Amino acid sequence: MKSIKETAGKIKRLEIQGATNVAVSAAKALAQDLLDAETPAEAARALDEGVRKLVSARDTEPMLRNGLKYVQSHVPRDWTDRDEFREAVERASAEIQGFFKESKTRIVEIGARRVRDGDTILTHCHSSAVTGTLVEAHNQGRRFRVIQTETRPKYQGRITARELVEAGIDTTMIVDSAARHFMKEIDFVVVGSDAITSEGNVINKIGTSQVALAASEARIPFYVVSTLLKFDPVTIRGRYEAIEERDTGEIWDAPPEGLKIRNPAFDVTRRDYIHGVITEEGVISPHSILEAVHRHYPWILE
């Protein structure tokens, strides 16, 4: 399981970031190790142990789990013809990668329409769908301004800022705690997501819920850009999405003895604060997420 182990390590170390990038990388790693399997036993090990290893590398990533689930359910376990098995793996991998790519392309097209000339937009953390949306709007000729948070403690906001500046977009960086101060200048907020629950709540990088609260207080629209593939089916049955707590050294590598540090990576933004979710179906209410998933990806709910 060479590809699986390498990819799981990169995901754990945040060398691969962003829910979409994580899901794509994990699905490719699983497919590669399945293609390398010489026997059904080796393939079964990759499907079972390998999937568990990839999933455990990032708890709050239903898009990763959904992608791996798709491959698992479309690959035979008892096979005698290796060529036929490899064809099934390649087909399943191509199909899920196609879902990933098509959903992002559609989301970017829809999201870009929300951007108008002269807008000032606030975003938090890094999302390839968000940057894709903003770059597409810029490429279509709209001129606007972006205010980007640093997104501590790992400063993922710098990734977004670099991509936007390189695209020629007017971008200003602020510390996370200044989001409320600058809200009076904002026309709308747009963020990505790591997971969406059956209730329409969104799990995203820590600090997102505070930005949503500040936007609500200022009556500023708060949008989430997310593929429906990030829906977490376990929340239908009453379970909560796991919130990963990361190494406290990310906050302070040499704290005074006796100091307790907590470092949750994500938080939950309630649907009440979300103006709309920009999905491959269009801009929809967070209340209608479950129905939209059923229309587009019914296999997620099986």
Q: Which of 33, 59, 176, 194 is catalytic?
A: 194
Q: Does residue 170 sit in helix, strand or coil?
A: strand
Transcribe 238-258 into DSSP letters. TPPPP--B--GGGT-SSPPTT
Spatial distance between the Cα atoms of 133 and 115, rounded to a whole number of angstroms: 9
| Both tokens assigned to 248 | 């406290």
Burial class (CB in 10 A: 0-12, 13-18, 19+), 204: buried
How do 266-269 and 195-196 pair as beta strands? Answer: unpaired
Number of other residues whose CB lies within 10 A of the CB of residue 156 = 20
Active site residue 272: no
Q: Which two tokens stand for residue 175?
A: 């510390």
Question: Three-class SS of residue 82?
Answer: helix
Please give the backbone phi and psi of residue 249, each rounded to the nearest 5 degrees, phi first: -65, -20
DSSP-derived 3-state class of residue 84:
helix
The one catalytic residue in 59, 125, 176, 232 is 125
Which residues partner with 231 through β-bridges?
A: 196
> What do you get for the CA distance between the two ends of the chain, in Å?
27
Q: Which residues lie below 8 Å from residue 60, measured CB to CB, with a gap of 6+? A: 194, 195, 203, 241, 242, 243, 244, 265, 266
* Rounded Cα distance, 203 and 201, in Å: 7
Annotated catalytic residue 117: no
The token duo for 117 is 């000339």
Q: What is the torsional sign of CA 205, 210, 216, 221?
A: negative
Q: What is the CA radius of gyration of the chain?
A: 20
Read off the tokens for 78.
Answer: 């008892």
Q: Which residues form the catalytic set? A: 125, 194
